[in-house]
Structure 1
């Protein structure tokens, strides 16, 4: 016997399923027996109609009971899972049903709570690290600017240029870390299409010729969220020498293909790894594709590299 904290008894799943099967068999057997004895008394046609109505009513009651104990809590759990995925805090379910469904619901809610706490911890740690490093990095930049105004020997000037370049790289990495942490927050709910985003994308990436197919297809990510992903992909394409990028949208999918040199076979398995880049000299931080992947995953989607060439081709898949 299982009681909840409020003292409400919940049947085990085996009892619900076993009871449903037993009632179904009992109704069938009782109908045959009743028809055998009622038929000669009131007529087989009338007895069949009466028994059919009784069995239908009993079946309806059984169906309502199963819906209450199984369908309703499963539906409530699915709704809670969708809400957690969209950033809502885990909340107790209104309906739990059987003991097993109650345990499952509690486990799902606890898992959602743990994952949200983990994301908050990562964001807090990232904010702390970037804040602590911001002061010394700014101090180095200020010192480098002061030194640059002086009369330096050529070798000292080269060293100062290296210090300034390293400082800019550190600032870019810190900004990328903040962007990665922010990208994992599911805050870009909604939908958009490529036609509405095209003017802003062309203005942000004037060195690329954008070709758009399926521009009116609704993609299940807000314009701000999709802009984060596409800015990373288009920025990568430009840094690697691409001149044209084609965006092809179909329901639930977006393919982004450029005419650059593509990704070498040795790098294909590493391009989504944090801090991996082959364009550090041209401003690459190695976090662009990580940010794009985080945004997609935080909203139930995925991004992958397609084998098609000769340029780089990325496949963005959105949830149904």
Structure 2
């Protein structure tokens, strides 16, 4: 399906920057936008078309070259364009505008439209872009009018045949002027649960009106008999009615009066609304569920896009603050630069985890006893473990030093590991065992760690994890559980929490079953080895020569300065095409490239490098903020290349490059 999807950027150079932003954000949504039966377009700050899906071109019959880069008024016509005056004012205030109604479109005539307009990046009361989603409901409105006409015709036909009581589909009840039943057709007998013989001669109030409403009915009949106002005569009235078994149900009633000689008769035509009321209630419930689903879907897409867009500026802030702190070492301002770096790093952690976790309060780090968390988790799950026949062993090291951590987050890891073990042991018929142990990691003379580390292992004797899946189980949304049992987020979130505390979550080869090991520094902070530059890779004569490829000059310059400061010889290229040209002119030991770039992106660059310089294709590191994209994950799996997620620190970059050069 992806082979039929196209991104149509406007040829105008003035929207180049917006097109780059769209190219970076739309990959996650392009398949959906091309598949929906709605027209979706994107307008730039000057209200020119910069993107449109296939449904738009199908509706207009225009070619992308006739549309992209053109002002909206030229495409939709002056009349339709003028009607957007009020919409523009609301968009300028940052509101999402939804409207529907008739409009006159150039080339399409009078159409009934439903539209949602979403402003993007409002600056100074001017949206830098506007996303417009349109549905053409013209045919639906016409069919609705035709249906209304047919209903009216049916009602007229039913009124014409009202005298044919026995064949009427409606319940027809006629009374004399005293309110006693004189006619009771078969439909009425079925509706009220009475035979015609049982109803004739009885008061209509006794036959069909609930006791609580009978005084009101008697007063109305007395008023009409005395020549007073006829409030319900000839009008459709919804009211509760009474069945013979005493139960109430909703009916729609039309009452009219007929004079026969000197006598007056009243006839009520009644329709049972029970099914309609139930159906309406179900429709309302489904409509509300759909609204909530659409809201969550839109919010998830918006948050994913926001996270992706924040990664680039956060990378620049973090990197520049780190470099500034190094340059100003010994200066009083160095601490300010470090504080900026720490704040940006914190933002990066939030961006990485907000889609995976929902917290009821801010994280609060304090001294946490790992033994107590393990004991509390076992106590909490004691019934579940016992009911599943799992023998639990706690092997906790006495006197284990506390860890400075957020108790809820670390407790979430412990609970997740134990629940995973319990679910895995369900595949074993008997002899189910779970061992939770803690200890203190040994420190050697050459160990660069400055603080001791504690560990906790959760070991089960279940089926274990296949070797080829041991790293994939930490990927978001990947799960080995059956459908409906797991989301594939537990281990990914747990590892993220562990790393945020300066620790790690790994799976160890235990021979049988699965064994997960959580390691945490007592301080709860990242250790010196994670913040100090990693030793450079040794080469035969000169330092390694690296090529940095990124279409954003600030990112390329930042990466170049970080690598050059560590002793590498660095050259930069602003696009994949320029990088290929440079590879023909000079030798490089490794390539650090952005994954998403216009024209020739990172994937295309890798394929060209693999064709021209196969050895170098094995030493490519991709920098990306597109951590949620299935396309990015699929390519990285195919290429077997390492990746560095934005935002990143200098230490992370140097560590990945060193590993790349020494592999």
For Structure 1 versus Structure 2, the TM-score category normalised by the shorter chain is 0.3 to 0.5
Q: If the length of structure 1 is used for normalisation, what is the TM-score?
A: 0.46
Q: If the length of structure 2 is used for normalisation, what is the TM-score?
A: 0.24
The higher-RCO structure (CA 8 Å, 6+ apart) is: 1
Greater Rg by CA: 2
Normalized per residue, which structure has more strand? 2
